[in-house]
A = this chain, B = another copy of it.
């Protein structure tokens, strides 16, 4: 994904392409593979990469704005921090609690044969599978 696409992505979501948003978006989206991160880890990586310092509140704001626009998804894993995911398609995860590492599983690589029906008055929104790992 090139810079022009980053700008399109921001504009299409009515997010002004500010210096900070462009920098964060380039860091998050100009890569081949899925990227899983916490706000804190993203902050550290951004500091390491570009010696400019973006306020932590801005990183929170931006990540939430990207999530609201559908450019990021949130993944719930055991622990105290919130994880985000550049893969916004329907998919599943391996989770290694020792390293706090998430690994994508393509939706097609898990087939569920039997599933209970939703409780009365409720519908199934989606099904998330976590495969917890050990050594």
Contact = CB atoms under 8 A, between A and B. Distances in A.
Contacts of A96: 122
B116 A109 contact: yes
Contacts of A118: 94, 131, 133
Interface string A117-131: 011011111111111
Interface of A is mostly: strand
A126 B78 CA distance: 14
B126 A132 contact: yes
Nearest to A99: B122
Given A76-B77, A130-B130, A133-B119, A114 B109 contact: yes
A133 B120 CA distance: 11
Contacts of A114: 109-111
Interface residues of A, number: 34
Contacts of A111: 112-114
Given A74-B78, A76-B77, A77-B76, A122 B134 contact: yes
Contacts of A77: 76
Contact of A131 (B74, B79, B110, B124): B124
B129 A127 contact: yes
